[in-house]
Amino acid sequence: MKPLKGITPEFLSSLGVADWGYTEDPIPSSFEKYEDWVERGENGPLKYLSDHRKDLRKNLDSVQSGFQSAVVFLFSYSEEKMALENFYKTDQSNKLKVAGYSLAFEGGDYHNVLREKMAMIGSKLGVEYSFSLDIHPVLERDLAYRSGLGWFGKNSMLIHQKKGSFNMIGALLLKEKLGLEENEKQLDHCGQCTACFDICPTDAIDLEKREISASKCISTFSIELFKDAEAPAGYESAQEIFGCDLCQDVCPWNKRRERNGEIEMTADWPKGAAKEIVDFFLVPKPSELKENLEELSNRGFIRKFKGTSFERTGKQGLLKNLAKKSFLL
C-alpha cells in the first residue's frame, strides 16, 4: 500500500485500511442502473433508496458542496471474519450464523468506528473534509470503483482483486484537489463463476442483471425489518439470523486469500462487545436463545447491545428472525 500525502502505509494499516484510492470524478457510473433498479421496485422495503435521497446520489456535490476530490478507503474485517468461521467449527457454536461485519471492530457499530478512524486520517491530511459512509446518499461501491478499488461482483458486492470483499467502504470528500495519481478502474474478474448465485438460498441474485432483489435478500429481512414480516422463501432453513455472508463466503476471491494464508489469525478474538454478542447469540441452544431474548425487556436489550449493529434491529427484530426458522418450530 502506497503512502497518502505523507501518511505512512504503516499508519493506515494500523487503522485497518486494506487499500485506498483517489478520484476527482463526482458522477457515479452506475446511477442509471441504480435508478432502473429502484423503478422496478427491487429496493423492496428499503425506502431510503427510493425517496428524495435517490437523486442526491447523482452527484457527490449534493453531499459535499464544492466537491473537488475524494479519498476512498477499504477497511478490512477479514481477520475477524476468519476467526468467526473458525468458531463455527467448534463445539461451542450453536450453528447459528451472523454477518461477519457485526463482530468486526470489537463488535462496535462500524459507522461510529470508521468515522473515528477517518477523522484520524483527515487530521493528518490537514484539509477540510466531510465523511461518506453507507448512511449518506452516496453510491459508495461506485465511488470505490471509480477510485480503482475493485469491480462489481455478480452479487453486486465490490470485490478487490487482492483483498476480496470483506471490507467496509469509507471516504473523505474534499473541497480541493490533492492532485494524487488515480488508479485505473478494475476490470471484471468474475468470469464464468456463478458460486454466489448457486449458494443463495432465497434466489436473491439476478445473474443476468448482476443485482440483488432486496425483498429476497436475507440481510434485508433479518436486519432492516424490525417487526413481524413475511420471510423470503428459503430463509426458514438457513442458519443465518442476522445478516448473511453466504454469497461472499463462496467467492473465489475471498477463498483465495484463505488458501494462500494471506489473512492473519486474530488471537484474542472475540473481545469487547463482540464477545458479548458471541456469548448471547452464538453459544446457547437456539431454543434457549429465544427464551433469553423473550425474557429481556426492550430497554434491557438496548442496554446490553448499545453501540453494536444489533441495537438497530432490536429485540423484536431478532425474535422475528428466530420465529421464522423451521428448526425452532
State mean pLDDT over 286-308: 96
What count of Cα atoms within 13 Å lies in the side-chain half-sphere of residue 210?
14
Q: Note the pLDDT of residue 190.
A: 96
Give per-residue pLDDT as tens, 60-80: 999 999 999 999 999 999 999
Which position has the grid cell 461472499? Answer: 248
Let me know if residue 180 belongs to a domain.
no
* Total of domains in the chain: 2
Let me know if residue 323 belongs to a domain.
yes
Q: Note the pLDDT of residue 329.
A: 66
Query: Is pLDDT of 39 > 90?
Result: yes
Q: Same domain, yes or no, for 241 and 126?
A: no
Q: Same domain, yes or no, for 266 and 168?
A: no
CA–CA separation, 112 vs 261, rounded Å? Answer: 30
Give per-residue pLDDT as tens, 96-143: 999 999 999 999 999 999 999 999 999 999 999 999 999 999 999 999
Q: Same domain, yes or no, for 205 and 167?
A: no
Q: How many CB atoms lie within 10 A of CB 21?
A: 25
Q: Which domain holds residue 302?
A: 195-328
Q: Which three cell numbers stand for residue 2?
A: 502506497
Let me know if residue 82 belongs to a domain.
no
Let me know if residue 2 belongs to a domain.
no
Q: Same domain, yes or no, for 56 and 162?
A: yes
Q: Same domain, yes or no, for 162 and 257?
A: no
3-state SS track over the chain: CCCECCECHHHHHHCCEEEEEEECCCCCCCHHHHHHHHHCCCCCCCHHHCCCHHHHCCCHHHCCCCCCEEEEEEEECHHHHHHHHHHHCCCCCCCCEECHHHHCHHHCCHHHHHHHHHHHHHHHHCCCEEEECCCCCCCHHHHHHHCCCCEECCCCCEEECCCECCEEEEEEEECCCCCCCCCCCCCCCCCCCCHHHHHCCCCCEECCCCEECHHHCHHHHHHHCCCCCCCCCCHHHCCEEECCCHHHHCCHHHHHHHHCCCCCCCCCCCCCHHHHHHHHHHCCCHHHHHHHHHHCCHHHHHHHHCCCCHHHHHHHHHHHHHHCCHHHC
Give per-residue pLDDT as tens, 1-23: 788 988 999 999 999 999 999 99
Q: What residue type is assigned to position 76 of the chain? A: S
Percent of the chain with pLDDT over 70: 99
Q: Same domain, yes or no, for 113 and 248?
A: no
Q: Same domain, yes or no, for 14 and 159?
A: yes
Q: Note the pLDDT of residue 2.
A: 80
Q: Which three cell numbers stand for residue 244?
A: 448473511
- Model confidence, pTM: 0.94
At residue 87's C-alpha, the angle toward residues 86 and 93, to 5°, is: 140
Q: Same domain, yes or no, for 139 and 59?
A: yes
Give per-residue pLDDT as tens, 130-183: 999 999 999 999 999 999 999 999 999 999 999 999 999 999 999 999 999 999
Give per-residue pLDDT as tens, 209-247: 999 999 999 999 999 999 888 999 999 999 999 999 999
